[in-house]
Structure 1
């Protein structure tokens, strides 16, 4: 019989091959296996799982629940090989329900203001990069990390297509571009090569230092752009983030479909694929997270009822 360590490694390999990255969960499971080996158990028990999950003392109960969830999912896998395995029940350290904070949704006017603010950044390369970077995210809904990870070979501007590789779920996808977006990226490409003819990276988007953009330098610059664009929120509401450009794209697309009286249910899988969601169910989140879409959906339903009565 394989050891618990060998089974844990097999479990992580299988799930990662299915597209799950499991960076945090993998570290947690490694720590739990080390904890078990120190106790020299003959099998995984609920007692041991709980003792490890509630470490460290005084931590947030939500953290304890997350740790136990990692063990619970592994225990279900382990139980198929070792019938002595005890699976922690789901009501043991349950996750506390938390209200999802709705994303900040940028208006077209605010996106234009951000682009103008980027245009006025003092550093020429940083200015060109963020003008194009913000425009691309707003026009395609790419994840921030996906846009940062784009290499020059991933951008086929002759065909107007981006290749997005190594996504959140380990899959790649092609993202068609609107002609105006393709033209804007081509303008940036020419300007970038003039300002930095010998970069040290294959990245499509360059920082002011000529390196690949990262979340730290992008967030700092974006905070400055928000201030320059006079985009603020009342206390207690979600603060605008760079990632919210993705949410804004998705919500605007859905809202436009409702306005045009399109068949949203049939178009949603296409939007899900375009955004790189693992399934349309993930895209449906926007319907309950955004009040304006809930209103549009309710109006559509009410009209259907009236027409059928």
Structure 2
């Protein structure tokens, strides 16, 4: 085993001990190490890092992401090998900002649900409807949903336990009684796939295995096309992650409509979504025109009262 490859193993062992998952980063770094080894080298250079990051079919944003993985590893390597070159931050600068959330209307969600009924395999459509529905009413991340196991659903108390989340934490998500009933009915449905040995997944594929993240993403893109949902701008297109944004916005909107103080919901919503910092929750709320309009009305009312 090369020195570089062993260093990569040690690097990920340290970072995982700190709570990071890094599955995609590990895959990319393994590819980079193989690339360097094929070049007959055993150390990181800026030239090699850029050459690998900009390989064919690596768009500008993806090249930036690939180089960022190498840069972090190179910084680690530099502490023990001064000859290691850390790629400068001004190379392959990412110009694209964050995507604008696609906030789904009730009609949009109905169109998505109806599109699942077109599958030849009825159980596939049933699973997709349950998955989309659960994401819509809980704001879970898609990765959290497909990692759910049977034992994570407590039908008696109406609670989902989401373990080993994005930041290595575990949280409990209370469910509305109607959602608890729907999940129970899904698990008890007739003619479901035969569960593969050792598979405890709550959501099953048609062959009895856990759903794949990439397959779910591809399927969702086909569903949005079939349901007639179109991109609103070049940076605002229907994504499965935006079901989470929609849930967050709807929660705060309900606070305004009920006449309550919506700001009091931020901390609760942040905990429910599994954010480590409420600032992340505020980002979820920043792109909703209706929410901004209601906030403006509340501000004008309060200022008028003060005058």
Could you state the TM-score of these two structures normalised by the residue count of structure 1? Answer: 0.77
Match in the other structure for 1:129:
127
**Maintained 8 Å contact 2:99/2:236:** yes
- Tell me how far 1:161 sits from its aligned partner: 0.7
Structure 1 residues 100-121: Cα deviation after superposition (integer angstroms, max 9, x where no partner): 3312221123323433454575
Name the counterpart of 1:277.
275
Shift of 1:159: 0.8
1:287 aligns with 2:285: yes
CA distance in 1, matches of 2:15, 2:98: 27
Deviations 1:137-172 (A, max 9, x none): 111112223222222111111110112223333332
Q: Within the alignment, does 1:199 sit opposite 2:198 as a pair?
A: no
Where do 5+ consecutive residues of structure 2 fail to align? none
- 1-side partners of 2:83 and 2:142: how far apart? 45
Structure 1 unaligned regions, length at least 5: none
RMSD: 3.6
Mapping for residues 21-100 of structure 1, pairs under 5 Å: 21-30=21-30, 35=36, 38-39=40-41, 48-55=45-52, 56=54, 60-78=59-77, 88-90=87-89, 92-93=90-91, 95-100=93-98
Secondary structure of 1:163's aligned partner: strand
Deviations 1:40-83 (A, max 9, x none): 66xx7xxx234422434675454454344334434544555567
Separation in 2 of the partners of 1:197 and 1:25? Answer: 33
Per the TM alignment, residue 199 of structure 1 is displaced from its structure 2 partner at its CA by: 2.6
Question: Is the contact made by 2:154 and 2:160 (CA closer than 8 Å) also made in structure 1?
Answer: yes
Q: Deviations over 1:174-211 (max 9, x none)?
A: 111011111111222222xx213843243222334444
**Post-superposition offset of 1:22:** 2.0
- Tell me the SS of whatever aligns to 1:289: coil
The corresponding residue for 2:154 is: 156
Q: TM-score scaled by structure 2?
A: 0.77
Report the Cα distance in structure 2 between the residues aligned to 1:258 and 1:157, rounded to whole angstroms: 31
Show the 5 A alignment for 1:119-268: 121-191=119-189, 194-196=190-192, 198-200=194-196, 201-215=199-213, 218-219=216-217, 222=220, 225-226=223-224, 229-233=227-231, 236=234, 238-268=236-266
Is the contact made by 2:204 and 2:210 (CA closer than 8 Å) also made in structure 1? Answer: yes
Partners of 1:257 and 1:93 lie apart in 2 by: 45
Structure 1 residues 261, 49: CA separation in 2 closer, same or farther (over 3 Å shift)? farther
Looking at structure 1, the residues matched to 23 and 181 of structure 2 have their Cα atoms a distance apart, in angstroms, of 37
Q: C-alpha distance in 1, partners of 2:31/2:234?
A: 37
**2:108 aligned to which of 107, 110, 121:** 110
